[in-house]
């Protein structure tokens, strides 16, 4: 317990550092990026695996630096287009509270973008560039510990736009506990741990495999440690971008529950019966509270969709529409229950 709390505190310090450093601090160095990049809107794909040099040269047209204007300053981050029409995925904390968003392309041009979706619970956001651009395909399944990966982004300042670092996947399905400044605890789950160097400003940039596909969105690193960075798996982002492409005004249904995997709950020495999403919190205003779901319940399936953790729940909800009826299957003190609800 103590070590987890300490690590959560370390990660929280990283977020504080992001906030302090990125609000108005910019090194006076001109970016060294090309104005000959082919920015023709298209899907960028590689045939099989390739060298790091070839991957970088091929994919960089789909990757942007982000300047998010704030009261009294601005934040710097990164993003990657994964859908035609200029749909760019980034971190929610990069654009939180933004008064205006500018994206910087690999050919040394820039344009504005609009925020069209955000979810702070998984730290993802989608912005839409006012200029169409190339985009990348994604890899959601074939991830292996030890495989080579590239992180591309804008560390520290827009002067360092399209910085590339290389590493390996160190672990999969990591959960990080974060101590918030209001005394509460939150969790980031299902993270890809890797050792490609990332710094403030890399947030929202892609983690890319050697086939040129996006496997994750870089979100934070562990302060006080070497080579411990984390990326959010791309699968949830891909699902919501597809929904937004169909309907820019799409809003995901809201259940009002928060939890962790049963495996992580047991690691925290919580005694539970059954496997699935262990419910740790209930929104008093959410439909789940109204329908009787309780803290301590374990949701293992919704309709025919298996639920193992919070990311599974988010992916399921992104696939649904407000007003849909669902059946929630759960364990309560070892007893199986079914609850129907309209979300």
The 10s digit of each residue's pLDDT in 310-321 is 999 999 999 999
pLDDT greater than 60 at residue 13: no
State which residues form the domain around 141.
Answer: 2-246
Query: Could you give the residue numbers annotated as active site?
Result: 93, 123, 203
Query: Rounded to an integer, what distance in angstroms lies between the CA atom of residue 20 and that of residue 218?
Result: 19
Pair (145, 96) in one structural domain: yes
Of 246, 271, 296, which one is at a domain's C-terminal end? 246
Pair (190, 278) in one structural domain: no
Residue 135 lies in a domain: yes
pLDDT greater than 70 at residue 22: no
The pTM of this model reads 0.87
* The pLDDT value given to residue 35: 55
Pair (191, 266) in one structural domain: no
Pair (209, 335) in one structural domain: no
Q: Are 218 and 202 in contact (CB under 8 A)?
A: yes
- What CATH number is associated with residue 14? 2.40.10.120
| 147 CB-contact burial (10 Å; exposed 0-12 / middle 13-18 / buried 19+) | middle
Residue whose token pair is 């190339």: 134
Three-state DSSP string of 279-318: EEEECCCCHHHHCCCCCCCEEEEECCEECCCHHHHHHHHH
Residue 252 lies in a domain: no
Give strand pairing partners of 221. Answer: 229
Pair (32, 154) in one structural domain: yes
Pair (6, 100) in one structural domain: yes
Average pLDDT over residues 283-310: 96
Choice between 88 and 160, residue whose per-residue pLDDT is larger: 88
Pair (63, 174) in one structural domain: yes
Count of structural domains, the chain: 2
How open is the CA angle 311-323-287, to the nearest 5 degrees?
65
Of 159, 36, 162, the residue nearest 107 (C-alpha) = 36
How open is the CA angle 147-149-150, to the nearest 5 degrees?
170
Query: Rounded to an integer, what distance in angstroms lies between the CA atom of residue 230 and that of residue 172?
Result: 10
Task: Quickly count helices (H) and strands (E) in the chain.
Answer: 7, 20
The 10s digit of each residue's pLDDT in 319-335 is 999 999 999 999 999 99
Pair (233, 182) in one structural domain: yes
């Amino acid at each position: 317990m103590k070590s987890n709390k300490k690590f959560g505190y370390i990660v929280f310090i990283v977020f504080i550092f992001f906030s302090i450093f990125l609000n108005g601090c910019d090194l006076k160095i001109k970016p060294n990026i090309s104005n000959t990049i082919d920015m023709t809107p298209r899907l960028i794909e590689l045939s099989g695996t390739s060298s790091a040099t070839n991957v970088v040269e091929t994919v960089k047209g789909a990757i942007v630096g982000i300047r998010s204007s704030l009261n009294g300053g601005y934040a710097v981050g990164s993003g990657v287009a994964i859908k035609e029409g200029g749909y760019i995925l980034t971190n929610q904390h990069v654009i939180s509270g933004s008064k205006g968003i500018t994206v910087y392309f690999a050919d040394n041009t820039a344009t504005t973008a609009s925020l069209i979706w955000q979810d702070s619970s998984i730290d993802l956001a989608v912005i839409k560039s006012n200029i169409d651009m190339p985009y990348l395909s994604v890899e959601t399944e074939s991830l292996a510990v030890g495989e080579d990966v590239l992180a591309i982004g804008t560390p520290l300042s827009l002067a360092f736009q399209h910085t590339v670092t290389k590493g390996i996947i160190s672990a999969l399905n990591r959960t990080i506990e974060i101590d918030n400044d209001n005394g509460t605890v939150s969790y980031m789950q299902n993270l890809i741990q890797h050792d490609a160097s990332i710094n403030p400003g890399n947030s929202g940039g892609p983690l890319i495999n050697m086939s040129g596909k996006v496997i994750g969105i870089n979100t934070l690193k562990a302060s006080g440690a070497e080579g411990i960075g984390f990326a959010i798996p791309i699968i949830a982002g891909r699902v919501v971008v597809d929904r937004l492409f169909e309907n820019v005004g799409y809003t995901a249904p809201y259940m009002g529950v928060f939890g962790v995997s049963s495996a992580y709950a047991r690691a925290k020495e919580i005694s539970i019966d059954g496997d699935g999403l262990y419910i740790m919190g209930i929104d008093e205003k959410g439909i789940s509270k109204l329908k009787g779901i309780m803290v301590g319940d374990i949701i293992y399936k919704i309709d025919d969709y298996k639920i193992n953790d919070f990311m599974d729940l988010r992916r399921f909800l992104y696939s649904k529409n407000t007003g849909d009826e669902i059946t929630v299957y759960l364990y309560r003190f070892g007893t199986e229950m079914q609850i129907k609800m309209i979300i």
